[in-house]
């Protein structure tokens, strides 16, 4: 079971069963499980204070709306409120599936509208500068940092997928890597010759480390231990800070850059969807909006009647 943020609250059996369902059957990530649990126990806490009981089964839509209004009054963002609504919708859908309830309270709850934010990305020219002009230290650490950036940008994988990438999942014969994504779904991603050569050399240098390196996980630090999420984040922030002025400088920005550059060069949207491991095409379509906006900006600057 996930460790709760609300350990002082008596844990509701239905919440525990729901979290276990998401963990063992749906195979959600620990971060998603924690978010669901936090939202549900927060709602249960609200019920206890509002009506003096914690019964999540017999809840009227008005109580849900009252909770959401309270959150809005606390200046909780629309995005966060929508996530909490999503948590409740999933929970009550599960209760209906299990036959605990016939109908849930969420059908009459409307999510607040959110202004869509286009994902930030690093320009191609800046990425070229990163790999052609930026100097990395001439040791194993420098080699690791450069390879982290290469893999993130050239494959579009997530940070968690990167640090869990295994040696055995690199197929040099077929120029592919196997990635374990969200929900433990596997996908195969093609790898370019230059990146493949870097990965091959990395394995050779990894064996030469004076310490005994982890041979299960592909990427390790100079002490032979698997990389942490913090290590990857700091590495990306450090080097992107050298080549771009965009506000965000996280590993996910390289994923956005990968997808935006592919769609900008005419890649099939369904193919990009598969490479990213998205469950729906809608999540991938946002990258076409970046290119449309770019065209609009060009038109505005260049067209005499704009």
Q: Hey, which residues are catalytic here?
A: 158, 182, 252, 255, 278, 287
Edge-to-edge strand list for the sheet holding 186-190: 170-171, 176-180, 186-190
- Terminal CA-to-CA distance of the chain, rounded, Å? 58
**183: region left, alpha or beta (phi > 0 left; psi from -120 to 50 alpha):** left
Evaluated on CA atoms 256, 138, 198, 201, the torsion sign reads negative
Contacts of 211 (CB under 8 A, 6+ apart): 223, 224
Handedness of CA 93, 95, 99, 101 (dihedral sign): negative
Distance CA 115, CA 104 (A): 28
267 forms beta bridges with none
What would the DSSP string read from start to end of 43-85? HHHHHHHHHS---SSS--HHHHHHHHHHHHHTT--HHHHHHHH
Separation between Cα atoms, residue 26 and residue 73, nearest integer Å:
34
């Amino acid at each position: 079971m996930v460790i709760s943020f609300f350990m002082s609250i008596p844990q509701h059996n239905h919440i525990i069963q729901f979290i276990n369902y998401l963990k063992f059957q749906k195979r959600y990530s620990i971060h998603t499980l924690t978010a669901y649990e936090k939202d549900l126990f927060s709602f249960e806490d609200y019920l206890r204070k509002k009506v003096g009981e914690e019964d999540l089964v017999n809840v009227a839509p008005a109580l849900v709306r009252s909770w959401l209004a309270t959150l809005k009054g606390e200046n909780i963002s629309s995005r966060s409120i929508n996530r909490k609504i999503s948590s409740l919708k999933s929970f009550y859908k599960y209760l209906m599936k299990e036959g605990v309830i016939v109908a849930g309270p969420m059908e009459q709850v409307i999510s607040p509208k959110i202004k869509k934010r286009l994902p930030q990305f690093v320009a191609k020219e800046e990425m070229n500068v990163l790999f052609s002009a930026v100097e990395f230290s001439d040791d194993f650490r420098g080699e690791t940092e450069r390879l982290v950036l290469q893999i993130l940008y050239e494959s579009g994988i997530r940070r968690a997928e990167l640090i869990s990438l295994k040696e055995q999942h690199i197929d040099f014969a077929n120029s592919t890597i196997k990635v374990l994504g969200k929900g433990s779904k596997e996908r195969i991603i093609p790898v370019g010759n230059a990146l493949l050569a870097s990965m091959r050399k990395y394995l050779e240098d990894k064996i030469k480390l004076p310490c005994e390196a982890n041979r299960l996980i592909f990427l390790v630090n100079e002490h032979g231990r698997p990389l942490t999420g913090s290590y990857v984040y700091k590495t990306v922030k450090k080097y992107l800070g050298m080549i771009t002025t965009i506000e965000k400088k996280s590993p996910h920005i390289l994923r956005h850059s990968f997808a935006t550059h592919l769609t900008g060069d005419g890649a099939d949207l369904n193919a990009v969807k598969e490479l990213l491991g998205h469950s729906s095409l809608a999540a991938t379509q946002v990258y076409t909006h970046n290119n449309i906006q770019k065209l609009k900006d060009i038109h505005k600057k260049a067209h005499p009647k704009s």
